[in-house]
Structure 1
Amino acid sequence: MSYGAGHVIDMINRMKQNRDQRPSKRAKFKENQREPIYTSSQKSTIANFKTVPEKELNKMKTIIRQRAKTESKRELIILGFLFLYGLILTIGLLLWLN
């Protein structure tokens, strides 16, 4: 009687099946065969990035920095209002309970 040991046999079978699906370890290291095993038949293309003149790059950087400053100010204002609102609610609740 196995008394619930079927899950162990299932695990062993899965490990065996996964091992069978792997490429041969010997072929990987024999005569530089590693590349053909793990590469697809399609060749990848190299991305072409646009080049931007220095003046435009500096202009974009300043615009991004200005937007970041305005967003951080906006977040601080919102957090300040939320803190005040929570403080007022807490004080109101304490006064109402007493």
Structure 2
Amino acid sequence: MYFKIVPMRDRGIARSWEEIGRDRPIRGDVNIRHEMCKIMNRDSNIARIRPVMPLDPELLPPLIDAFLSGMATNAFTLSGIEEVDGRLYAQSWYCRPE
């Protein structure tokens, strides 16, 4: 299922709702799988955004240890950890249906 996704943090620092609302959402298919995570050296729930065109690159770094942290009538939030430049940061995705 395709969603409009907006990252809620920048290198672990929370963004304001005004900034999140102004940001252009990423359109993609949210996919969550339980798989081996090389970074953590263990199994993890990993969320990925699959691009609209199959050969396009990933649009955001995957969320490691992904979990549903909030849900309302027309949106939900996935939270977890992302790797950016070899470092791990907290991250959440604000997801709305198209």
The answer to whether TM tops 0.5 is: no
Q: Relative contact order (C-alpha < 8 Å, sep 6+): which is higher?
A: 2
TM-score computed with the length of structure 1 as normaliser? 0.14
TM-score computed with the length of structure 2 as normaliser? 0.14
Q: Which has the higher strand share?
A: 2
Q: Which has the higher helix share?
A: 1
Q: If you compute each CA radius of gyration, which structure gives the higher value, 1 or 2?
A: 1
